[in-house]
Chain A
Amino acid sequence: MTIKKISKKDMVELLLDWGREMTVLVPSRDKGVTEMTEWDGKDISFLGWYRNTVIPTKSSFLPPVEEMFTFQKNGNGYQIEVSPGQGKRVVFGVRPCDARAIAIMDKVFTDSHEDPYYVSKRKNTVLIGLGCTNPYDSCFCTSSGISPAESTDVDLMFTDIGDDFVIEEITEVGKELLATASIVKKASQADAVTMKKARAAVSGMVTRKVDTKNIVDKLQACFNDSDFWEKVAAKCVGCGVCTLLCPTCCCFDICDELFKKQGARYRTWDSCGFSSYTKMPMENPREEKWRRVRQKVCHKYEFFPMNSEVIACTGCGRCIRLCPVNWDITEVLASVPAEQPIKNK
């Protein structure tokens, strides 16, 4: 893999260069919450304060609300106009946890059916990773096999080595993006060593751990242990913070807005934590709160790995940081009983 480097002070120029051909998204807090937002062409102060966004990068592919098409009553039928697709974009600053989450979402949205809305955005977007330098105390990515400063789930990977970034060209698309950028220099052997050291140091800063050994079996064994799940779920208030802001959770709801003879169809984030989840066909099969909490845990750590051989939690820690009651998935996983429960309901 070729590695290159760029001085941090040249970053404006590089982003401007990319901006000539496509929309550039960077971490921003201008809208009152940190999220990937269209770059203003000047400000790169995020390189100083950015740890991770509250709104995960998934929102660039599965937005909280997305217009699918508009419709207008036309005689006996409806005239439908599909909403315009996404132009070319580059998202700069994706953290390894969020990049892995997108790789996981790719499975969901392309597996048996290609979702045109997701896929068109995905195909038109270049992902540029930026390794962490200061993980939160709630981060536990290393337990999901992710290194906080390394990723191959992106097109280019940036690693902070002080005054410069070392850049790894992961994909051909990424390589092309650097081909014409004259401010990007070749990196030396010494830079590669510095990068490796920097990465190891950041990895060591992630101290929260989850023991995922045999987790599928353990969760399977306690699936019917309602006493355990009721206890785990007791303090959960049943909001959607942990799921909606989870980088891998991608359940959505679809609704129509109709006014007089015209309207639009929207796709929106939905959560298995809501008591109203899946009520549109009939009922929510998970009537009690503990069943919904169990679903959230088991989908990530039991069902998803069984189906796709990967844990659908990247350890970004948002669900812990943002939870109104400090419901901590790492504590819950640690408390999963090791043996087959005696009591079944």
Chain B
Amino acid sequence: MEQELRKEAKKLLEEGKVDYIVGFATGSLKFSTTPLITRDKEEVASLVINPFIVNNLAKFLTQLPGRVGIVAKGCDSRSIVSLIQDNQVVRENIVIIGVPCSGLIDMVKVEKLVGRDRDEIDDVSLKGGKVTVVIGGQKTELPTEKVLFDSCLGCESPSAREYDTFIGEPGKETGGRGLGKDKIKELESMTTEERWEFWKTQFSRCIRCYACRQVCPACFCERCFVEESEPQWVLPAPKWQDNLIFQVIRNIHVAGRCTDCGACERVCPVNIPLRSLTKKMCGLVSEMFNYEAGTDKNAPPLMTAYEYEEAKDLIR
């Protein structure tokens, strides 16, 4: 599959159909990958597809000039569609190379289950619905339900649906398992006071590195409200109240754009369960507006469209 991908990427560059290829290459740490952004037709030989391709590459589309060929899993492709809807990306300027995805491995979950850090683990592989972990020659099999990212467990369409070419066979995966909601259910079962305390604790350790915002394809504002000083919506200082407000506003801003890729939670260096907010918000968007982000490139963006019936419940 990787060979096919590399061939396709090389062809696109050689034929001048794209100026850049955006994909994944093997990272410098165990079980890591890194975005590969290149114009070099030889460099595409390092493109990979594996269960560690965790970044949402759609983020780079708004930063690159010219035409871009982009490797897309299901979540990347939904984010691309959402960017097209928002006029951030011109469909004709991109070539989407769809790739199949059977879920990405959450190494934090693996580390917890095997009691070792990732650099102490020899091998982790995903095959036939099982994840095999090897430590010192000893094999442990873990069910995917235990070790895939929550966002992957809840993913309805793991493979790209919007694409120009597809590597492998599209649509063979089993989506919509409806899993990955454990943390949200736990929060829903709390009292308001308990929930408030929970988020207070979580946001007390936020250092405002903005990694959540920076990796989010839906966060494409040229100037973020947190950086406004007149008026100052939130304090630049990472006080928990301001951290919470930052995240709440960010959530509302990405409503209808968030495709539940889970990147925000994945990159948080202080382990704030951010997807518990975004996924909840996606659920509300779905319930209230019957809208799934990134599924129809011709649909108007959620917040710009208005239907008369909505007035009954929303505007009083």
Contact = CB atoms under 8 A, between A and B. Distances in A.
Interface of A: 31-33, 51, 54-55, 64-65, 134, 136-138, 234-235, 237-241, 244-245, 253, 255, 257, 266, 268-269, 271, 274, 276, 279-280, 289, 320-322, 324-328, 330-331
Given A32-B205, A241-B209, A276 B267 contact: no
Contact of A240 (B209, B239, B271): B209
B128 to A, nearest CB: 28
A240 B210 CA distance: 6
Contact of B27 (A33, A322, A326): A326
A51 B202 contact: no
A54 B211 CA distance: 15
Contacts of B63: 289
A268 B238 CA distance: 7
Interface stretch (B32-40, B86-94, B297-305): B32-40
Interface in B193-226: 201-202, 204-205, 207-211, 213-215
B37 A137 contact: no
Contacts of A245: 207, 209, 269
Question: B33, B37, B55, B237: which has the most chain A beta carbons within 10 Å?
Answer: B237
B122 interface: no
Contacts of B311: none
Most buried by A among B120, B238, B266: B238
A297 B211 CA distance: 19
A257 B267 contact: no
24 contacts: A31-B205, A64-B238, A65-B238, A136-B119, A137-B30, A234-B60, A237-B59, A239-B210, A239-B267, A240-B211, A244-B208, A245-B269, A255-B237, A266-B235, A266-B239, A269-B207, A320-B29, A321-B29, A324-B267, A325-B215, A326-B27, A327-B34, A328-B27, A328-B34
Given A239-B214, A328-B28, 6 more contacts: A33-B270, A64-B207, A237-B214, A239-B211, A274-B210, A326-B33
Given A54-B270, A138-B29, A268 B211 contact: no
Contacts, number: 118
A235 B207 contact: no
A54 B34 contact: no
Given A51-B117, A326-B32, A33 B271 contact: yes
A340 to B, nearest CB: 23
A234 B208 CA distance: 22
Contacts of B129: none
Interface in B237-270: 237-239, 263, 266-267, 269-270
For the complex of A and B, list the 4 residue pairs with the smallest distance between their C-beta atoms, beginning with the closest.
A324-B267, A239-B211, A240-B209, A137-B119
Contacts of A255: 235-237
B4 interface: no
B225 to A, nearest CB: 12
Which interface residue of A134, A253, A321, A331 has the most chain B CB atoms within 10 A? A321
A209 B59 CA distance: 31
Contacts of B210: 239-240, 274
A241 B119 contact: no
B227 interface: yes
Contacts of B34: 235, 325-328
Contacts of B59: 237
Given A32-B201, A32-B202, A255-B236, A331 B28 contact: yes
B104 to A, nearest CB: 14
A38 to B, nearest CB: 14
Nearest to A135: B119
Given A33-B271, A54-B269, A235-B37, A320 B28 contact: yes
**Residue among A245, A274, A325 having the largest count of chain B Cβ atoms under 10 Å:** A325
B28 A279 contact: no
A55 B237 CA distance: 17
Contacts of A289: 63
B209 A239 contact: yes
Contacts of B120: 134
B239 A324 contact: no
A324 B211 contact: yes
A32 B108 CA distance: 13
B211 to A, nearest CB: 4
Contact of B269 (A33, A280, A326): A33
A321 B63 CA distance: 25
B227 A279 contact: yes
B238 to A, nearest CB: 5
Contacts of A235: 34-37, 60
A3 to B, nearest CB: 31
A52 B201 CA distance: 22
B237 A257 contact: yes
Interface in B8-53: 27-30, 32-37
Contacts of A279: 227
Given A138-B119, A266-B235, A326-B28, A237 B211 contact: yes
Q: Which of B63, B208, B209, B238 has the most CB of A within 10 A?
A: B209
Contacts of A136: 117, 119
Contact of B235 (A31, A237, A257): A257
A137 B208 contact: no
A241 B269 contact: yes
A328 B63 CA distance: 21
Contact of B236 (A33, A55, A268, A328): A268
